[in-house]
Amino acid sequence: MNKNILDEIKENVINEKFYDFTEMVKLINKVLGYDQRKAGKHFYPDTGDFTDWHKMKKYPVNDEENKHFLSSQIWYKEYRNDIENGIWKDTPYMDFWHWQVDKGVNEGFSNDSYGYVRINPEIAKNEKEWIKEIQQVWYDTFKEISVDGRVKIWISW
């Protein structure tokens, strides 16, 4: 094969610019003032998760069966009962990352890969308000580096 052609291909790939997705997420969280993976706590501040409930109860780390509180079926049952009886308000599951993986990145998106994230608010037009809000922040923050509503990214977790 002609060496000049290979040199051109290699140079084009090397000169492409990709942005660190993890750093982009950190910046968005800073702009939002909350963690977009835990948006439920932001939109429903009078709620809590199992860990919050455990702290409120002032229980020790291990239950009477010596199980760590995160593995305690005894305490989890009590927690679920408190929710069912209106004693505790559980934080709704609202993780933008999971929506983004489903709707906002290229097919085949995986650890240690290159691809793109879609930041155009149009893709969220039929979604819940909290998703629209976060997607708009992505757009407002990164529209200058996007091409056709997409930003080339590198991801590693």
- Integer Rg of the chain from CA: 22
Indicate the pLDDT class of residue 106, thresholds 50, 70 and 90: confident
Residue carrying the six token digits 């969220």: 124
- Would you state the structure tokens that stand for residue 63, as one six-digit string? 């239950």
* 113-118 β-sheet, strand order: 19-20, 150-155, 113-118
Helix or strand (DSSP H, E) at 154: strand 150-155
> Within its chain, how far is the Cα of 110 from the centroid?
14
Q: Evaluate whether 122 touches 135 at the Cβ level (below 8 Å).
A: no
Say yes or no to pLDDT of 4 above 80: no
Q: What's the pTM value of the predicted model, to 2 decimals? A: 0.80
Q: What share of the chain is helix, strand, coil (3-state, %, to 5)?
A: 55, 15, 35
Side-chain half-sphere of 87: how many Cα atoms within 13 Å? 10
Distance of alpha carbon 136 from alpha carbon 118, whole angstroms:
11
Indicate the pLDDT class of residue 108, thresholds 50, 70 and 90: confident
Q: What is the mean pLDDT of residues 74-90?
A: 97
pLDDT digits (tens, 9 = 90+) for 29-50: 999 999 999 999 999 999 999 9
The residues, ordered by sequence, that sit 6+ positions from 137 with a Cβ below 8 Å of its Cβ are 28, 31, 32
Distance of alpha carbon 104 from alpha carbon 5, whole angstroms:
34
